């Protein structure tokens, strides 16, 4: 199959200047509108970007050639929803749930998110990095080249700043692009018990301005839920983000219908995430606004939720579907984006194509990133090379390690990477 001829026609070989690196004998899944398969292909890089792709016989000259031996190449994977920077774990709560407690019970008793807040506040920056790095490395070994990292386990200005700085440091010391999200409105910290509106004042008037001024925030999120923040409180956070010119997203309709998806859509939200209790009005609002539905099957699986997101309604409305790990210690201790794809297919009947679009083109859109997520001339050269028979294998196999190599901004690496510093 060769659906990618058009891409070759728009190739820019830069006149006589040779490209930096040419991958040959490769099978491309461009993920531009579908799998976008090109057999017996080549792809050329220049200056960290894709310069050209198309049939191997038409390839431009390059300084260095890399024969891929018939391997598949996709865009580097994008994990667009994680809480991967945190200290400690919550296997004790998981055990309590297996003995009959519910996630909401545990949260109301001061456990849940707040137990990770205690551990995260107590950890030094270096300790936070030390505990978080292995989780990030597990994702990188699976071809992830861009990662969203939320704050939300600090819940005080300095601790939220520390989380976001550690997230930025991960992007500095590891070969991954990090997009940071301020999630100060994740839970009510103990210092503000019984004073949720005052805490929202703190988030909007003190924390967000300081963190945005420090350049630590790429987007703003909140947890709109019975055990999180109300519709009105969430709206205040989204207003504050708008004042700072920052894009918004939302944890919406995970455990109940709070109208969060429609709310974030009103603000032109990048994404609404979870969505098990999403209403028809929420679907329509997301479709109108172009808000991506970020599906988090790891949390659904780990909490043994009973209700799945309304996927057929989302498909009918043309809402783009993304898939992410939601890596966090409470509801989704998951460090495999390939397993998230498999869960989405197995539990919810996503097709393997939907799952792969959900971790490439649609995940990039959920981060507001038009420069990654597909193989097209001009896009950043973030690529993954795979030992697979066909693209559906990425969602099919459980526990396989099919990633042969990755390219980050034009630099070719093996998937097993070490901390640079
Ligand atoms: N829902 C809220 N936040 C996380 C859970 C965080 C936690 O339990 O630590 C989530 O996305 O599932
Ligand atoms: Zn989350």
The string of pLDDT tens digits covering residues 17-57 is: 899 999 999 999 999 999 999 999 999 999 999 999 999 99
Rounded distance between C-alpha atoms, residue 98 and residue 327, angstroms: 20
Contact 234, 263 (CB under 8 A): yes
DSSP letter at 380?
B
Q: What residue spans of 143-279 are helical by DSSP H?
A: 157-173, 196-201, 208-213, 231-243, 260-266
Q: Higher confidence at residue 2 or residue 349?
A: 349
**For residue 104, how many other CB atoms are within 10 A of its CB?**
15
Q: Higher confidence at residue 15 or residue 175?
A: 175
Rounded distance between C-alpha atoms, residue 214 and residue 96, angstroms: 40
Helix (H, G, I), strand (E, B) or coil at 47: coil
**For residue 111, how many other CB atoms are within 10 A of its CB?**
19
Q: What are phi and psi of 135, to 5 degrees?
A: -65, -40
Helix (H, G, I), strand (E, B) or coil at 401: coil
Helix (H, G, I), strand (E, B) or coil at 6: helix
What pLDDT is attached to residue 364?
A: 99
Residue 262 has pLDDT above 60, yes or no: yes
The predicted model gives 150-162 an average pLDDT of 98
Q: Is the CB of 4 under 6 A from ligand 1?
A: no
The predicted model gives 53-71 an average pLDDT of 95
> DSSP string covering 271-331, please?
EEEE-TT--HHHHHHHHHHT-EEEE-HHHHHHTT-S----HHHHHHHT--EEE----BTTT
Q: Is the CB of 181 under 6 A from ligand 1?
A: no
Largest Cα separation within the chain, whole Å, is: 69
Domains, the chain, in order of start with CATH, read: 19-75+375-413 (2.30.40.10), 77-367 (3.20.20.140)
Which position has the token pair 């960290």?
48
DSSP letter at 18?
P
% residues pLDDT > 90 (the chain) = 91
Rounded distance between C-alpha atoms, residue 263 and residue 149, angstroms: 22
The predicted model gives 258-277 an average pLDDT of 98
The dihedral built from the CA positions of residue 407, 411, 417 and 421, taken in this order, carries a sign that is: negative
**Checking phi first, is residue 408 left (phi over 0); if not, alpha (psi -120 to 50) or beta?**
beta
Helix (H, G, I), strand (E, B) or coil at 10: coil
The predicted model gives 64-71 an average pLDDT of 96
Output the residue whose Cα is nearest ligand 1's atom 2: 223
Among 157, 153, 275, 254, smallest CA distance to 214 is for 157
Supply the ipTM of this predicted assembly: 0.96
Q: Which tokens is 365 given?
A: 């859109």
The mean of the pLDDT values for the chain is: 94
**Residue 339 confidence class, pLDDT cut points 50, 70, 90:** very high
Rounded distance between C-alpha atoms, residue 141 and residue 386, angstroms: 11
What pLDDT is attached to residue 11?
A: 40
Residue 251 annotated as lining a ligand binding site? yes
Residue 417 has pLDDT above 80, yes or no: no
**Residue 165 confidence class, pLDDT cut points 50, 70, 90:** very high
Residue 99 annotated as lining a ligand binding site? no
Mutate to test the pocket of ligand 1, among 105, 323, 331, 340 (most ligand atoms within 8 A of CB): 331
% residues pLDDT > 70 (the chain) = 95
**For residue 213, how many other CB atoms are within 10 A of its CB?**
10
The answer for residues whose C-beta is within 8 angstroms of residue 121's C-beta and 6 or more apart is 154, 156, 159
**Residue 304 confidence class, pLDDT cut points 50, 70, 90:** very high
**For residue 215, how many other CB atoms are within 10 A of its CB?**
10
Mutate to test the pocket of ligand 1, among 150, 309, 326 (most ligand atoms within 8 A of CB): 326
What pLDDT is attached to residue 340?
A: 99
Which atom from ligand 1 is nearest to the alpha carbon of 223? 2
What pLDDT is attached to residue 132?
A: 98
- For 58-118, give the secondary structure using H, E and C: HCCCEEEEEECCCCEEEECEEECCCCCCCCCCCHHHHHHHHCCCCHHHHHHCCCCHHHHHH
Among 247, 230, 120, 215, smallest CA distance to 185 is for 230
Residue 146 annotated as lining a ligand binding site? no
**Residue 296 confidence class, pLDDT cut points 50, 70, 90:** very high
Q: What is the pTM of this model?
A: 0.95
Residue 269 has pLDDT above 70, yes or no: yes
Among 84, 79, 138, 33, smallest CA distance to 341 is for 79
- Bridge partner residues of 19 (DSSP): 62
The predicted model gives 375-404 an average pLDDT of 97
The answer for residues whose C-beta is within 8 angstroms of residue 100's C-beta and 6 or more apart is none
What pLDDT is attached to residue 139?
A: 98
The predicted model gives 128-135 an average pLDDT of 98
Contact 351, 323 (CB under 8 A): no
Torsion, CA 411, CA 294, CA 199, CA 88, rounded to 10: -60
Which atom from ligand 1 is nearest to the alpha carbon of 107? 8
Q: Higher confidence at residue 204 or residue 63?
A: 204
What pLDDT is attached to residue 110?
A: 87
Residue 216 has pLDDT above 90, yes or no: yes
Residue 90 annotated as lining a ligand binding site? yes
Rounded distance between C-alpha atoms, residue 311 and residue 197, angstroms: 34
Q: What residue spans of 174-230 are helical by DSSP H?
A: 196-201, 208-213
Residue 109 has pLDDT above 70, yes or no: yes
Residue 5 has pLDDT above 70, yes or no: no
Among 342, 333, 250, smallest CA distance to 293 is for 250
């Amino acid at each position: 199959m060769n659906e990618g001829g058009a891409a070759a026609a728009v190739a820019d070989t830069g006149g006589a200047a040779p490209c930096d690196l040419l991958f040959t004998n490769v099978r491309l899944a461009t993920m531009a509108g579908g799998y976008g398969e090109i057999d017996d292909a080549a792809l050329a890089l220049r200056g960290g970007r894709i310069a050209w792709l198309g049939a191997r016989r038409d390839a431009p000259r390059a300084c260095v050639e890399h024969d891929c031996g018939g391997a598949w190449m996709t865009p580097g994977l994008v994990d667009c929803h994680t809480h991967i920077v945190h200290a400690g774990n919550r296997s004790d709560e998981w055990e309590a749930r297996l003995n009959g407690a519910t996630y909401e019970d545990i949260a109301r008793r001061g456990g849940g998110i707040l137990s990770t807040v205690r551990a995260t506040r107590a950890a030094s920056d270096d300790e936070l990095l030390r505990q978080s790095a292995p989780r990030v490395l597990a994702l990188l070994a699976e071809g992830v080249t861009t990662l969203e990292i939320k704050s939300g386990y600090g819940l005080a200005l300095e601790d939220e700043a520390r989380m976001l700085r550690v997230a930025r440091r991960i992007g500095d010391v590891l070969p991954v692009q990090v997009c940071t999200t301020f999630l100060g409105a994740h839970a009510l910290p103990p210092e503000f018990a019984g004073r949720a509106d005052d805490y929202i004042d703190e988030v909007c008037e003190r924390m967000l301005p300081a963190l945005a001024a420090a350049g630590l925030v790429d987007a703003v999120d909140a947890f709109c839920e019975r055990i999180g923040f109300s519709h009105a409180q969430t709206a205040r956070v989204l207003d504050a983000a708008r004042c700072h010119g920052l894009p918004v997203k939302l944890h919406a309709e995970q455990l109940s219908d709070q109208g969060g998806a429609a709310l974030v859509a009103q603000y032109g939200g990048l994404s609404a995430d979870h969505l098990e209790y999403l209403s028809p009005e929420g679907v329509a609002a997301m479709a109108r606004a172009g808000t991506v539905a970020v599906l988090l099957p790891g949390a659904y699986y780990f909490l043994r939720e009973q209700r799945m997101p309304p996927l057929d309604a989302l498909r009918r409305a043309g809402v783009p579907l993304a898939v992410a790990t939601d890596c966090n210690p409470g509801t989704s201790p998951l460090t495999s984006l390939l397993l998230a794809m498999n869960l989405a297919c197995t539990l919810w009947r996503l097709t393997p194509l939907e799952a792969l679009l959900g971790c490439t083109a649609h995940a990039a859109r959920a981060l507001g990133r038009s420069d990654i997520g597909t193989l097209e001339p001009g896009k950043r050269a973030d690529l993954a090379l795979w030992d697979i028979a066909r693209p559906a294998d990425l969602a099919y196999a459980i526990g396989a390690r099919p990633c042969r190599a990755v390219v980050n901004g034009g630099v070719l690496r093996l998937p097993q990477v070490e901390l640079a510093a």
